[in-house]
Amino acid sequence: MSEAFQTIDHGSVTSPEGFSAGGMHSGLRRSKRHDLGVLYCDVPATTAAVYTTNLFQAAPLQVTQKSIAVSNQLQAVVVNSVNANACTGKQGELDALAMRSKTADMFKVEEHHVAVASTGVIGEPMPIKKILAGIEQMPQHVNKENGDGFNRAILTTDLTTKSIAVKLNIDGKEVRIGGAAKGSGMIHPNMATMLAFITTDAKVEQSAWKSLLSQTTNKTFNMITVDGDTSTNDMVITMASGKIEHEILSPSHPEWNNFEVAFSYVLEQLAKAIARDGEGASKLVEVIVEHAPSERTAQVIAKQIIGSSLVKTAVFGADANWGRIISSMGSAGETFDPQRIDIHIGDIKVLHQSQPVPFDENKAAAYMKESQVTITVNLHQGDERAVAWGCDLSYEYVRINSAYRT
């Protein structure tokens, strides 16, 4: 961790000044688990967002994009789990608009200052009456201390909540960055069935905020995969309340780099948490591609390896089968010299200059049974590198997804 910032114990999206959040059970789930949440800022927050690359964009994403386009500001985000409100036609759009309108009424903000996010089953009609009744009750659940309630409300098949906050000094003032995310299955580079919400009390110039989010997403959320499927509902929203009095942040600010490093750390930790919590996963897999001729080449190869079902099943079985790694690299569509590749599994070298290296199979298997497995590929063809994260592919993944709707 960088000396530029510190993590906050039990930090969340409500750690920065100006933010509160909460969650509740509105009746969408058969159990009494939370299924509706709201993130609220007491002032219009400078906002940037990125969305799924899937051509089928769910109605909430379309409504959110329209909201942000008005002024690049938000004050509230309403989120439901269980139902994705995707591929639901005109009625789905009307339901998302109704959620936006009701949230604006209950929190006394402008409609275009409200974003809508949904996650869950695709193609099911939204039980909008339950949602709207829940939103009417949300103000009593939203407060500074209820970040965890919000975290629980956005989960689908996730086993754990994903939350973090850090603090750093800007112009001698303490600034905080908080984050929450959900995601477990249908996760693939270019985002996935994941939602992420990032908050800060810093003053950030809007174009710099948008650029920072885009660049950092490409190196974090777009570098994770669970199962190779990209969802219809992915969204990352960043909100800056500007509550802390310091010179506005942009690349020209002398402490911009420290802010960028802290922001990147928050997104990276959330991305790794999503990969670690992949449906049925038993371990986190990290792939490092180094000494590549370009960053793009490194990213594409890293994502190809981490997304390979054969590599993922080998990791699940603790089988140091480097042939699957080299095979996936060769199908990545990138140009590199296939005669110069080194591969390490953990600190165990299994390939040198594309030639097999004798290694202790038992030691390798023991390493691959650990909770995190790192695969390092050295191309020996440049100075660029990239890191991707994913998980193993287990029997449990099949069980979960064979009965997702039931």
225-248 pLDDT tens trace: 754 445 567 889 999 999 999 999
The pLDDT, as a whole number, for residue 121 is 85
Q: Categorize the per-residue pLDDT at 401 as very low, low, confident or very high, splitting at 50, 70 and 90.
A: low
Q: Categorize the per-residue pLDDT at 57 as very low, low, confident or very high, splitting at 50, 70 and 90.
A: confident
Structure tokens at 25: 């059970």
The pLDDT, as a whole number, for residue 274 is 87
The pLDDT, as a whole number, for residue 1 is 54
The pLDDT, as a whole number, for residue 191 is 36
Q: Give the model confidence (pLDDT) of 182-208 as tens digits.
A: 976 444 444 345 899 999 999 999 999
Fold adopted by 6-276: L-amino peptidase D-ALA esterase/amidase (3.60.70)
The pLDDT, as a whole number, for residue 192 is 40
The pLDDT, as a whole number, for residue 402 is 65
- Read off the pLDDT of each residue in 391-399 and give the average, rounded to a whole number: 74
The pLDDT, as a whole number, for residue 167 is 98
The pLDDT, as a whole number, for residue 280 is 60
- Read off the pLDDT of each residue in 88-115 and give the average, rounded to a whole number: 97
- Read off the pLDDT of each residue in 241-266 and give the average, rounded to a whole number: 98
- Look up the CATH architecture of domain 284-402: Roll (3.10)
Structure tokens at 216: 């950092």
- Read off the pLDDT of each residue in 240-263 and give the average, rounded to a whole number: 98
The pLDDT, as a whole number, for residue 188 is 45
pLDDT reading at 320 higher than 70? yes
pLDDT reading at 293 higher than 50? yes
Q: Categorize the per-residue pLDDT at 4 as very low, low, confident or very high, splitting at 50, 70 and 90.
A: confident
Tell me if domain 6-276 and domain 284-402 are identical in fold: no
Q: Categorize the per-residue pLDDT at 355 as very low, low, confident or very high, splitting at 50, 70 and 90.
A: very high
- Read off the pLDDT of each residue in 319-347 and give the average, rounded to a whole number: 93
pLDDT reading at 135 higher than 90? yes
- Read off the pLDDT of each residue in 283-305 and give the average, rounded to a whole number: 94
Q: What percent of the chain has pLDDT over 70?
A: 91
The pLDDT, as a whole number, for residue 194 is 81
Q: What is the mean pLDDT of the chain?
A: 91
Query: Could you give the residue numbers annotated as active site?
Result: 193
The pLDDT, as a whole number, for residue 256 is 98
pLDDT reading at 268 higher than 80? yes
The pLDDT, as a whole number, for residue 230 is 53
Which is it for strands 372-378 and 195-200: parallel, antiparallel or unpaired?
unpaired
Q: Would you kindly state where each structural domain of the chain is located, as residue ranges?
A: 6-276, 284-402
